[in-house]
């Protein structure tokens, strides 16, 4: 992130700030300097009797109220002296750089402003009263404003508008786009996305936030959260990213390397095993970094090392007690990184961290512990006070650093407002497009708009596979309790849609036989026949399916095997044991995902409560790995399988509701030259 800039607030007595009971407003020093310059400029302007009535000015609460500025000396001067005054450019198509940053010629203190985005209070936050009724003209306006926001710089957008207007004239259309980008934003309602952005200043002592130019109390009135724990950390958020993944793993690895517990030979052997490992898409793959002794590791790299690699690679390399103690830290992390976590899991994670720290002082020396490791014991308080770690750890902030580099600015200050405007626009583009395009006649344009806004989900084309309401508890129970297996047509989470469908195709004959058997068993319909006998009876199963590119279930994305790539296709599913009581976990690989339509025959013995039947089913075709009798790694949360598949059966047809979690795998060769596959169960994501 950018280095923090110290704030220096001062009293401003200008005519704009003294209009209150105290006769003064406390603003940042930079703002006060601009107000003074603006006052001097207005005085000079009055003395020169400059007629400015022909220049339309707009007073706005937002620093980003207008996108365009007039290309004239007077307008440039006004925008330099005060951010809140903008000169419109609706009367001509020549507009300058529309990034609303202040001029950097001033050598005063930097003005670091807090940016706040108000929630939309009205019923239609994307009202576009100026949009044409003609669906084609409406799409042209929408496409232009979205395309310009993604790929065209501000001056180039004017050229794009002129080009489109010329095309409209050539083809005899009675519609023209506004000549300026600001006018286009206003007509399409695109400017309403960022209308709630405001600037704020903060107190340099207590960091209390005040809206810029508002009256502030004469002294700090902010009340700090009192300390309630022995070391006074309660009420302070501990960043889990730095605490868990950038601190302890590196500390322990440096210790093991310095003490020659792990040497070059061990690093090379670990790298060889790491090359055989298959990881989910959300985890960083480590190969050469392991062999080189973990150089230049980032937080994502350490996260993958802790959760996926270390349980496999450190076994047999570290002494037995050191490895077991390290696994206490791994088990704690598996609990803590979950987006949804129970209080029992929070307590269990705290117990594991406490055992890890206490045992470390005995296995190593007391100096192994750092202040960062002490903070492990306060993470449970942070989660109880502020919720799961996904809400505040810095992974999201760090990833946005890459986005910051690609936001175009004019090299001036007030970057915060420019960034926030771009961020909010990208976040709400999909909702905006849905609000503007509501007619079914716009369906042909949806594919193009989805490329301009990745989050664009056409509401008119969402396929609802169930007429029953989605219930989270029932969905979670379907994956964890195999005694109540779903049929495949039960409701899926709303965020699963819009499904990424491929073209319809005919199912392989071998796979189709298992699908037919699945329906016979699930619906208790032994008289169902193949599609080949469809002319003889209505109790048949069609062989036409529609494959899916992937499916997202509560934030966890699954996809079929794509050639040699297996990322996202390895899963674990719960089954009932042969005794009918025990629950067993099986590992498998999704070959493909598909939807299939099956309507229950009208003459069946279907129970009356199931008279309303949802015909669309969502399945995964899964091949199951052969099990192994080796249970030596169960205490570490790992299991052995054979790297071969068992014969296909009706169990290969699996409703996606039953997928329990995603796994990683590693190939291990035993001392007897037997090849085995080690399965690493990963924390289940639940964005509920």
Q: Count CB-CB contacts under 10 A for residue 400.
A: 13
Choose between 69 and 412: higher pLDDT: 412
Q: What is the C-alpha separation between 575 and 582, in angstroms, rounded?
A: 9
Count Cβ atoms within 10 A of the Cβ of residue 589 and give its class: 0-12 exposed, 13-18 middle, 19 or more buried: buried
Angle at 590 between CA 584 and CA 596, to 5 degrees: 105
Tell me: the pLDDT tens digits for 246-302? 999 999 999 999 999 999 999 999 999 999 999 988 898 988 889 888 988 999 999
Q: What is the C-alpha separation between 115 and 252, in angstroms, rounded?
A: 40
Residue 581, both tokens: 């009581």
Are 528 and 516 in contact by the 8 Å Cβ rule? The answer is yes
Q: According to the model, what pLDDT value does residue 430 have?
A: 78
Same domain, 288 and 367: yes
Q: Is the peptide bond before 16 cis (omega within 30 degrees of 0)?
A: no
Instruction: Please tell me which of 65-79, 98-112, 213-227 the model is most confident about, judged by mean pLDDT.
Output: 213-227
Same domain, 385 and 430: no
Same domain, 432 and 380: no
Residue 514, both tokens: 């298992």
Average pLDDT over residues 167-183: 90
Tell me: the pLDDT tens digits for 403-417? 777 777 666 666 777
Give the length of the chain: 688
Same domain, 559 and 666: yes
Same domain, 389 and 247: yes
Average pLDDT over residues 323-350: 93
Average pLDDT over residues 302-324: 94
Residue 581 lies in a domain: yes
Choose between 622 and 204: higher pLDDT: 622
Q: According to the model, what pLDDT value does residue 635 have?
A: 87
Q: What is the C-alpha separation between 303 and 281, in angstroms, rounded?
A: 13
**Residue 461 DSSP code:** S
Are 24 and 210 in contact by the 8 Å Cβ rule? The answer is no
Q: According to the model, what pLDDT value does residue 470 have?
A: 84
Q: Which residue has the tokens 């190969």?
A: 287
Q: What is the C-alpha separation between 530 and 540, in angstroms, rounded?
A: 5
Tell me: the pLDDT tens digits for 462-473? 444 455 788 888
**Residue 219 DSSP code:** S
Same domain, 242 and 286: yes
Residue 313 lies in a domain: yes
Q: According to the model, what pLDDT value does residue 119 have?
A: 44
Q: Count structural domains, the chain.
A: 4
Q: According to the model, what pLDDT value does residue 580 have?
A: 81
Same domain, 584 and 436: no
Give one DSSP letter per residue of 55-104, joined into a string. S-EEE-SSTTS-S--BSSHHHHHHHHH-TTEEE--TT-S-B-----PPPS
> Does the structure show a pLDDT above 50 at 104?
no
Same domain, 537 and 436: no
Q: According to the model, what pLDDT value does residue 469 have?
A: 81
Residue 104, both tokens: 């950097």
Residue 635 lies in a domain: yes
Q: According to the model, what pLDDT value does residue 1 have?
A: 37
Q: Which residue has the tokens 């501000």?
A: 154
Q: Which residue has the tokens 């310009």?
A: 148
Domain end, chosen from 144, 177, 197, is at 197
Residue 415 lies in a domain: yes
Q: What is the C-alpha separation between 16 and 31, in angstroms, rounded?
A: 12
3-state secondary structure of 586: strand
Q: How far is CA 656 from CA 490, 594, 647, in A?
A: 10, 10, 20
Same domain, 267 and 305: yes
Same domain, 149 and 270: no
User: Residue 516's closest CA among 435, 440, 525?
Assistant: 525
- Lowest average pLDDT, out of 147-151, 199-203, 294-298, 640-644, goes to 199-203
Q: Where are the alpha helices (DSSP H) in 407-439?
A: 415-436
- Lowest average pLDDT, out of 65-74, 93-102, 431-440, 479-488, goes to 65-74
Partner residues linked to 114 by β-bridges: 200
Are 577 and 682 in contact by the 8 Å Cβ rule? The answer is no
Q: What is the C-alpha separation between 129 and 187, in angstroms, rounded?
A: 7
3-state secondary structure of 15: coil
**Domain range for 485:** 472-601+611-681
Same domain, 314 and 414: no
Q: Which residue has the tokens 């005519």?
A: 15
Residue 460 lies in a domain: no
Residue 506 lies in a domain: yes
Residue 255 lies in a domain: yes
127-149 burial, b if ≥16 CB within 10 A, otherwise e?
A: ebeebbeebebbbbbbbbbbbbb
CA max distance for the chain: 98
User: Residue 661's closest CA among 592, 515, 558?
Assistant: 558
Same domain, 544 and 670: yes
Residue 94 lies in a domain: no
């Amino acid at each position: 992130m950018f280095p923090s800039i110290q704030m220096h607030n001062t009293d401003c007595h200008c005519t704009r700030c003294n209009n209150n009971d105290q006769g003064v407003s406390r603003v940042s020093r930079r703002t006060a300097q601009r107000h003074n310059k603006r006052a001097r400029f207005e005085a000079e302007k009055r003395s020169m009797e400059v007629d400015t009535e022909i220049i339309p000015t707009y007073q706005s609460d937002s620093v980003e109220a207008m996108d365009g500025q007039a290309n004239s000396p007077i307008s440039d001067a006004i925008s330099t002296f005060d951010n809140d005054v903008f000169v419109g450019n609706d009367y001509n198509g020549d507009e300058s750089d529309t990034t609303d940053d202040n001029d950097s010629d001033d050598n005063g203190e930097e003005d670091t402003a807090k940016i706040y985005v108000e929630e939309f209070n009205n019923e239609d936050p994307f009202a576009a009263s100026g949009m044409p009724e003609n669906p084609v003209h409406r799409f042209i306006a929408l496409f232009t404003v979205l395309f310009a926001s993604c790929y065209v710089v501000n001056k180039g957008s004017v050229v794009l508008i002129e080009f489109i207007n010329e095309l409209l004239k050539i083809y005899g259309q009675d519609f023209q786009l506004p000549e300026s980008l600001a006018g286009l934003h206003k007509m399409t309602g695109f400017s309403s996305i960022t209308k709630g952005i405001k600037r704020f200043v903060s107190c340099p002592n207590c960091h209390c936030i005040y809206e810029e130019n508002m009256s502030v109390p004469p002294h700090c009135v902010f009340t700090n959260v009192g300390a309630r724990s022995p070391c006074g950390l309660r009420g302070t958020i501990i960043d889990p990213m730095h605490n868990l993944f950038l601190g302890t793993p590196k500390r322990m690895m440096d210790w093991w390397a310095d003490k020659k517990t792990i040497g070059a030979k061990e690093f090379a052997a670990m790298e060889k095993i790491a090359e055989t490992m298959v990881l989910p898409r959300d985890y960083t793959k480590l190969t050469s970094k392991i062999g080189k002794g973990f150089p230049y590791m980032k937080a994502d790299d350490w996260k993958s090392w802790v959760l996926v690699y270390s349980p496999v690679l450190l076994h047999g390399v570290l002494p037995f007690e050191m490895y077991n103690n390290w696994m206490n830290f791994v088990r704690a992390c598996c609990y803590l990184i979950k987006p949804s976590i129970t209080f029992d899991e929070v307590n269990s994670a705290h117990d594991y961290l406490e055992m890890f720290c206490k045992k470390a002082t005995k296995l190593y020396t007391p100096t192994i512990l750092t202040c960062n490791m002490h903070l492990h014991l306060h993470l449970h308080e942070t989660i109880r006070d502020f919720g799961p770690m996904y809400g505040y750890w810095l992974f999201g902030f760090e990833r946005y650093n890459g986005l910051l580099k690609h936001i175009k600015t004019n090299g001036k200050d007030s970057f915060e407002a420019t960034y926030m405007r771009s961020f909010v626009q990208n976040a709400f583009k999909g909702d905006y497009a849905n609000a503007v395009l509501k007619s079914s006649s716009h369906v042909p344009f949806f594919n193009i708009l989805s490329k301009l806004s990745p989050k664009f989900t056409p509401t008119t084309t969402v396929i609802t596979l169930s007429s029953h309401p989605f219930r989270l508890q029932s969905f979670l129970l379907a994956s964890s309790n195999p005694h109540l297996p779903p049929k495949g047509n039960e409701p899926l989470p709303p965020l699963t849609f819009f499904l990424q469908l491929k073209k319809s195709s005919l199912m392989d004959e071998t796979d189709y036989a298992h699908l037919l058997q699945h329906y016979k068993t699930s619906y208790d319909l032994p008289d169902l026949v193949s599609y080949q006998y469809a002319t003889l009876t209505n109790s048949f199963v069609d062989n036409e399916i529609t494959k899916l590119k992937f499916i997202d279930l509560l934030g966890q994305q699954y996809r079929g095997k794509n050639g040699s790539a297996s990322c996202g296709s390895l899963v674990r599913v719960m089954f009932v044991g042969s005794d009918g009581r025990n629950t067993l976990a099986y590992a498998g690989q999704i070959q493909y995902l598909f939807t299939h339509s099956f309507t229950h025959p009208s003459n069946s013995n279907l129970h009356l409560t199931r008279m309303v039947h949802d015909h669309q089913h969502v399945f995964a075709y899964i091949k199951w790995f052969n099990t192994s009798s080796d249970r030596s790694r169960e205490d570490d949360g790992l299991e052995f399988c054979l790297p071969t598949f068992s014969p296909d059966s009706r169990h290969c047809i699996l409703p996606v509701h039953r997928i329990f979690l995603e796994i990683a795998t590693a190939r291990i060769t035993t001392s007897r030259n037997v090849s085995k596959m080690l399965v690493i169960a990963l924390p289940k994501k639940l964005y509920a």
